[in-house]
Structure 1
Amino acid sequence: MREQVEAFRDKVEAELEQEDVRWDWQVAAGNEGQGLARQVALNDLAIVGGSVAGSLAIHCRTPVLVMPDSARSFTADGPAAVCWNGSIEAARALRCAVPLLAGASAVHVLSVGDPLSESEDKLAAIAAADYLARHDIVCEIVELPRGSEPVHELLFHAARARKAAFMVMGAYGQPRIVETLFGGVTKGVLASPAMPVLMAH
């Protein structure tokens, strides 16, 4: 295992030395999620893949960019899809994503369901658009009818139809029982992300 770790480190460091960024290498033993949560606490963004992404998004306050297993790059200047349900988590994810959205070629705010049935404690999609406008980011609001298709699949289909390079969404769940409450849209997205997804809790 040590030989595999060293070989992987040599490969990664060789690639990082070609980039114009500061970096360092940390090795830690123990619970993967807790170790990562400590490491990313003083970082602007955590880029992860695999099953640890959901737990990390819930346990830490750092935005998490979840990469599909097949991803080999990230296109920051492509179109972006913002998954909007008016929640505090969705609003926080939107705020965290502003630097990325400012460089996106287009921004689509995807809202699933009947906007007239929204509860008073939810922010309408137009509020998200107004917030983005304050940052000089123009967006298109896309209202998606709620059908029989799972919401996460509906969102992925809508994002792909708009050639989105990445998605933005809130992460939902309670830290101490995240395994049992991590259901619905968040679980569906994390099970098999169709594209990079920026998540925040």
Structure 2
Amino acid sequence: MSLKQILVQAGVDEGAGRRAAIAADLASRFDADLAGVFLSPAAPSVYLGASAEVAPPASVMKDLTEAHNRTVLANAKAAKATLEGAASGKAIAWRELDGGAPNELIEAARGADLLIMPGPPENTREGVFAPADTVALNAGGPVIAVPDTSNATRVGRNILVAWNGSRESARALRDALPLLSKADQVSAVIVDHPAAARDAEQTLQAFLQRHGCRSVNVQRLPEGGRPASEVILQHAAHVAQADLIVMGLYGHSRIREFILGGVSREMLDDSPIPLLLSH
């Protein structure tokens, strides 16, 4: 099992250079094709639906639209240049898609082995609506969400697996196997959870070792009255020193987690470490 094409969401936001570096590094390690996608924001719609008395003259709207299109073209060119710079001469495939809805990015992700994209809050800026959880829920494959707070320029050397025995965590584990098998260090944590069997440590360790993972360390951690996300993130940063966290997405209803909170929502909102998401 390997990665043959890595797709990265390019852009001109602050994290675009880091995402490009991560994608280029993984493409080099796996000898994979590198592809970039730029999401074009929709034209400003502040006047849509306005009455004839309120809407500006057609000439003004034309000027606004043309200025918007020039900006989009300039940003797409800059985004492509950033990715080409990170690729260091490696040929890249390039696509520009409508960023007004997540559907086109989801479809692009389905044709790649791995998508690297912004995590919150960058993925909802500038009129581009493609949240990482929405894409991961529908792409049918792994998504690495790089948080705005992350300084990472490479991932996958030291990986932490967040395991709770659910279908989602099993899917994420399998989707991450190409990265896990090449990692220098693989850690896994089981925060006390009803679905995690008593022998989960031994089962998970054996599974990872069968797939060629080196230096595997599996631990069960007590919640101690803290949210599971806090336990995972503290362990990832201060004990495992992980550069990537592998986790299943939304074991509960997404709406329930959005309203009541949950591990997935908290990890997406709070993790400074890139997340490999799968559902």
User: Into which bin does the TM-score normalised by the smaller protein fall?
Assistant: 0.7 to 0.9
* Structure 2 equivalent of residue 16 of structure 1: 83
Contact 1:86 1:123 in 2 (8 A): no
Partner of 1:143: helix, strand, or coil? strand
Is 1:70 the counterpart of 2:149? The answer is: yes
Structure with greater contact order relative to length (CA < 8 Å, sep ≥ 6): 1
Shift of 1:181: 4.0
Matched to 1:165, the amino acid is D
Shift of 1:45: 1.0
Q: 1:7 aligns with which of 61, 65, 74?
A: 74
Matched to 2:96, the amino acid is Q
The unaligned stretches of length 5 or more in structure 2 are: 1-67, 124-130
Matched to 2:228, the amino acid is V
* Structure 1 equivalent of residue 190 of structure 2: 111
* Structure 1 equivalent of residue 246 of structure 2: 168
Q: 2:138 aligns with which of 54, 59, 71?
A: 59
Cα offsets for 1:47-104 (capped at 9, x unmatched): 1223501111112212110101133543235311100001111111111111111222
Matched to 2:211, the amino acid is H
Shift of 1:119: 6.3
Q: Which TM-score applies when normalising by structure 2?
A: 0.63
Cα offsets for 1:174-194 (capped at 9, x unmatched): 7xx734444410000111322
Structure showing greater radius of gyration is: 2
> Where do 1:117-136 residues align within 5 Å?
118=195, 124-136=200-212
Shift of 1:156: 0.5
Q: Which TM-score applies when normalising by structure 1?
A: 0.86
How well do the aligned residues superpose, as a CA RMSD in angstroms? 2.3
Contact 2:161 2:189 in 1 (8 A): yes
Partner of 1:169: helix, strand, or coil? strand
Is 1:25 the counterpart of 2:95? The answer is: yes
**How many angstroms apart in 2 are the aligned matches of 1:134 and 1:119?**
20
Partner of 2:176: helix, strand, or coil? helix
Is 1:144 the counterpart of 2:214? The answer is: no
Q: Percent identity?
A: 30
The unaligned stretches of length 5 or more in structure 1 are: none
The farther-off stretch of 81-90 and 144-153 is 144-153
Partner of 2:77: helix, strand, or coil? helix
Matched to 1:25, the amino acid is R
Cα offsets for 1:82-131 (capped at 9, x unmatched): 000011111111111111112222111111017xx6566x9823222212
Partner of 1:198: helix, strand, or coil? strand
Cα distance change, pair 126–41 in 1 and its aligned pair in 2 (3 A): same
Cα offsets for 1:142-171 (capped at 9, x unmatched): 111112221111100000012111100001
Contact 1:81 1:167 in 2 (8 A): yes
Matched to 2:84, the amino acid is E
* Structure 2 equivalent of residue 41 of structure 1: 110
**How many angstroms apart in 2 are the aligned matches of 1:16 and 1:63?**
21
**How many angstroms apart in 2 are the aligned matches of 1:200 and 1:123?**
24
The farther-off stretch of 163-172 and 77-86 is 77-86
Contact 1:84 1:125 in 2 (8 A): no
Shift of 1:14: 1.3
